[in-house]
Structure formats: structure tokens, C-alpha cells
Structure 1
């Protein structure tokens, strides 16, 4: 009788240059651990190492959003189940010590014991592109704000002739005026040096402004292809939609239901009852950037949405405070946004696109390359999971031209 194949679980402690891998069996017995380089060849050796001990049921990886991001993608590409492991509790570390092998074994045991259930973000689609663009945009905004503050600080102590001419101008007009100046003089003249520095700072502000505008246009283009209906919701613009999609991730299956999404964005109600008082309070957990995005949605709706205004008036009459009302509104907004992301409104029937493409013998990757689109976008369009009438028309016209050729 053939022996039953051994089932193993791997745990990986990731670092910038090396990853430490530990393997345990289904009963928690340590089998082996080893250190590998954090490079492509090292990732392949890790896969060979953990699969050599039996059938891998799951791999617990620390830092799937940073040092372990590429490793997690590689493991998923091999069909392995990857789980995101949090850093061990500090109290446990003080009692049992800390080392790379210990952390790797701890990661594997957390998966075995069911303490780790989080599925990491895929980071391989349009949402990852949104995250990267927003990262660059955020630094550009921060740098522009610093430059504007520096301009105004220099004007405070500038020579009276310069201060009187520019200090009263609004920020946008001030930057334009300073950028157009033509300072003349010598480097021993404080007025000349001040104008020269102000002109350089103004030019920097304008360059950063152009960079921000380009980032906004790129965000809008991606959202127009990936989630065109999300921005149709009241109070949801490019900034809010991109942040919520980043929080959601490229793989919607990592969130099982709407309640999990509410917890992720920090709007799940937390019981705060005592004695005769029954109430809930605002959650302090979750993704605070996503929570801030929902806060902006609620503020816009409270000022412009008639339905929201009526709700606020009704709850105010019941004796609810503003913070309590906004907590409820955030929860409702999270529910609406979750449904829009996971189940957008019915799109037109585009099943003919896939049929014609198949008849022409073309892969979806080939079409994506020709149209300059993501494969995932075209796949969702063919299956009716997203609505993009302009892209569908372009896709259909291109297929017609290929068929005629």
C-alpha cells in the first residue's frame, strides 16, 4: 500500500537581501529551515526547497506588501496558496526570543493554527498602477506645498521693495508673477539673490503642478477603464475612487463579504455600551487613508445630497450627535461602494467580442497589446463584468477590420 503523501506548511521571514524559509509538517513538527537570497534565482530555489518535503498546503509570508511582494507573486504563479503573516507579538518575542529561523517557524505555525487567514493583495494589475501613480503624486504635492511655504517665508524677510510688490498676491498669481521675473544684479545684492531664489522656487512649483496634473490624468484614464461606474456614485471622485480601489486590491476574492470591507476601511461599528446606555462608537482600526476617503464622501453628501440631508435631519431629531450620524453614513457609504466594486450595474452584452476573437484565432493578450489595454480589462469586458461602451465599440471595430482583412 502506497504511503500517504506528506502535507507541509512553509513560513518565510522576509528581508531586503535575504529570506529565511522554514518548513513544518501538518502536525507542527519542524522539518527544515534555510536562508535564500532575495533574487529571482533565490525564489526558484525556495520553491524547490519547500516542495521537496511534500505537498505544500499553504505558505505564510511576512511583509507581502514590501520585502515579500515579489516572492508572493512568484509563489502564487506556481499555484501555491499564500497567506499574509503579521509580525509576531512583542510580548511573545520577549519570552521566546527572536531570530530569522524562529520568525520563519512562527509564520508557518500561525498558518497551521489558523491565526493567519489574510490573503495578500495580488499587486499585478490596474490597482497596483493606481497605487504607484498616487505615491508619486503624493510626494509631488508635499514638495509643492513645501516650496510654496518657503516662498512665503522668504517674502516675510525680503527687502521692502520685493515684499510690497508680491506679498499681497494670491498663491497662484504669486507663483506666476515670480516665475516671469527677470532678476538682474550681482550675488552680493540681497534683493537680487532673493528674487533669484524666489524665481527658482516658483519654477519648481509650476513643474510640480504639471506633474500632479499628469498624474491626475493618468488616474482618471485608469479609472475610466477599470471602474467607470464607481465615480458615478455621489461624492466619489478620482481621488476617493483610486484610494478605495487601492485598499480593495486587484484580487476582490480576498474580501469575502461587505462586512469585511467595512472592517478594512475602519467603519465597522464597535460596541461601546455600558449600563443603561446602548451605543456604538467609531472604529479606530482599518486603513485610515480609506477611512479618510469615506469621510470626504460623507461630507460631500451632507452638503449636496438631498437624501443624506433628510437622513441627517431625522437622526438629529432622534437625539443623535453629528459624530454618531457620520459614523452611520460612513457605514452606508461603504456598503454602497462595496456593491459597486464587486457587482457593478449590468453592462451591455459583449459576448460577441470573445466569439469573434476566438474565430479569428487571436489570444486576448494579442488584442490587449494592439489596443493598448490590460488583459484583465478586456477579459472583464468580454464577460460583462464591467461597462465601457467606448472601449467595447473600439474593440468591436478593430475585430471587424481584422475579419475583413
Structure 2
């Protein structure tokens, strides 16, 4: 894994932990604190808490909670800025390494970076786009029974790469007309959401493979066997 990508993932994990701590603390806070924060979005919540100026005796529950929330909110802002800086650095590196990959719909610096890392760490396993799909846990697994012919989600493979594919699919469902039309058509045919997601991840894996840098998915020449 590229060290910058590892740093970015670590920052995101700590940032997520911090917002979760804030929400948990609000749930248990006195009603006079909780009521003023109800209905705020995550961004509004962080901004409101970071700007707050708690006063009074720290021994009082209300003041203590407000002080803790302010501290957590400011920590979140610092982490958020570090994540943005890391994203800019990763974005520059990824764009230089694989400009065609970053240009694909729904593919951002984080997801592209993860998929490049997965491919780069496993060059001998990328014999074909099907092998790449298996590596990312996006290859369908037969789950037929009797007269029912179906497949299920693949729970194996590189889970970080699989999560990157999942993120790309979610973005495309929201913003890409081609994907939206596919989802509508398959839904009308009676396909359930999890099967639609499975098919879309397989399609994205195929597309991603074709846009990986050539040096990554060129397999070694294997000795001939007789």
C-alpha cells in the first residue's frame, strides 16, 4: 500500500470515530444542550460546536458536555483539513499514474488509489479482467438451486478494493444516467437491489481493468508446458 494512501485511510477512520463520539455524547447530554443541536446536518453540527464558547463551572454537567463537544468538533475540523490535504496529494499522484482511470465516471482519487494499490500489490494475479474481478471480490458466485438459476455476492477477495468498487457504483447510481437506466430496467425485470449491485460491481471491475496502467496488468510470460 502506498504510504500516503495509508495515512489518508487512517485520518478518515479517526475522523469517523470523532463524529461518532460527538453524536454519542449528544445523546446522553442534558436536554438543554441536546435540543439546540437537534436537526443539524453533520457539517452544521461541527461548525456550531466549534464556534461555541462554553462558560460556567466545569463541574456542572451542562458546561462539561459543551466543553467536550467543542473540543471534539475542533479536533474533527483539524482532521478534516488534513484529509483534504492528503486527498490533493493522492489526487496528483493518481492522476499522473493513471489519468484514464481517474477520468472514468464515479472514480475519485481515493477509489482510484485503492484499486491501483490492489492491482500493484498483485501483478501476478492479473491475467485477465476476470482475474481482476476475482481479486476485488466482484466475480459472481453461483448459488443456483433446483430450477432457480442465480448468483450471489462474492465475500472473498480484497475487501478494500471491493469497497472502492461499491463506492463507484453508488456514485454512478446517483449521478450517471447510463447506470440509472440500467438500474431502472433491471428493477422492472424483478431483480433485487443486491443483485443489481453485484452486476454493476462486476461491470465496473471490467471497465477499471481496461483502464489500469499497462505495466500493472501485463502478465509475465509463463514457461510452456508439454
2:71 is the alignment partner of 1:200: yes
Task: Quote the residue 1:307 is aligned against.
Answer: 178
Task: Quote the residue 2:4 is aligned against.
Answer: 133
Secondary structure of the equivalent of 1:249? helix
Aligned pair partner of 1:151 in 22, 25, 30? 22
Aligned pair partner of 2:137 in 266, 271, 276? 266
Paired residue total: 215
CA contact (8 A) 2:152 2:195 kept: yes
TM-score of the pair, normalised by structure 2: 0.77
Aligned pair partner of 2:88 in 217, 222, 228? 217
Query: 1: distance between equivalents of 2:11 and 2:64?
Result: 26
Distance 1:319 1:170, change over 3 A: closer
TM-score of the pair, normalised by structure 1: 0.46
Larger strand percent: 1
Task: Quote the residue 2:98 is aligned against.
Answer: 227
Larger radius of gyration: 1
Distance 1:176 1:253, change over 3 A: same
Query: 2: distance between equivalents of 1:156 and 1:328?
Result: 39
2:163 is the alignment partner of 1:289: no
Aligned pair partner of 2:51 in 162, 180, 184? 180
Aligned-pair Cα RMSD in Å: 2.9
Task: Identify the structure with bigger relative contact order (alpha carbons < 8 Å, sequence gap 6+).
Answer: 2
Deviation at residue 299 of structure 1 after TM alignment: 3.1
2:220 is the alignment partner of 1:332: no
Deviation at residue 157 of structure 1 after TM alignment: 4.3
Larger helix percent: 2
Deviation at residue 264 of structure 1 after TM alignment: 0.5
Distance 1:252 1:175, change over 3 A: same
Distance 1:297 1:186, change over 3 A: closer
Query: 2: distance between equivalents of 1:149 and 1:288?
Result: 23
- In the alignment, structure 1 segments of 5+ residues that lack a partner are 1-127, 345-405
Task: Quote the residue 2:194 is aligned against.
Answer: 323
CA contact (8 A) 2:125 2:135 kept: no
Secondary structure of the equivalent of 1:235? coil
CA contact (8 A) 1:155 1:167 kept: no
Cα shift readout 1:276-325 (whole Å, capped 9, x = no counterpart)? 44443332221122122222323333444333344445545655444334
Query: 1: distance between equivalents of 2:187 and 2:30?
Result: 55
Task: Quote the residue 1:360 is aligned against.
Answer: none
CA contact (8 A) 1:227 1:341 kept: yes
Query: 2: distance between equivalents of 1:274 and 1:157?
Result: 49
